[in-house]
Amino acid sequence: MANVEGQHGAVVEAPRGTLSGRVDEKGRLKLPAALVQYLESIGERKLFVTTLNIATALIYPISSWRETEKLLEEPGEDAEDRADIAMVANHYGEESEIDGQGRVLIPTTLRRELGFEKDDVYLLCYKGRIEVFGSKVYEQRLSKAKTNLADKHSALEKKGLR
């Protein structure tokens, strides 16, 4: 997630690193305390939980989801692709709120499609949203990321990576 202005005007940074969680038998994801604190500090308890790729769940603060909706509604040569993605997002998505115990409900259709029921999940703040990976998808993505890592690192160091 990007750094954003908090409720009192100070810039608030999203948590870094991969956080872990678990979806319970009722489909509730207990958010790590750092995420709850971050969302509360930016004044966001209302969320939109969906997917855009049927591989990971995405938890958007509602203000961030509104921006995504605007992008998906823009005209252009890829308008049909945007409409398809919006269709998927709305099919699997639902609004949710963080409850008093720091949990968010993952919609039934979404959690069944992604196999999240009673599963460990991994959360990553990225591009203004929280990306939620099931354990199998996370391991696949991590394995892919490690492939040719030395070459990737070297190429990016030449571009200024420290």
In the chain, the largest separation of any two C-alpha atoms, in whole Å, equals 48
- 125 contacts 14 by C-beta, under 8 angstroms: yes
pLDDT reading at 9 higher than 70 = no
pLDDT reading at 98 higher than 60 = yes
- Residues 91-99 have a mean pLDDT of 96
Tell me which CATH code domain 4-135 carries.
3.40.1550.20
pLDDT value at residue 11: 73
* Banded model confidence at residue 58, pLDDT cuts 50, 70, 90: very high
pLDDT value at residue 118: 78
pLDDT reading at 95 higher than 80 = yes
- 123 contacts 35 by C-beta, under 8 angstroms: yes
* Banded model confidence at residue 96, pLDDT cuts 50, 70, 90: very high
Residues above pLDDT 70, as percent of the chain:
94
pLDDT value at residue 10: 66
In angstroms, rounded to a whole number, what is the distance separating the alpha carbons of residues 46 and 39?
Answer: 9
Identify the residue with better confidence: 119 or 103: 103
pLDDT value at residue 5: 54
Q: What tokens does 129 get? A: 């949203």
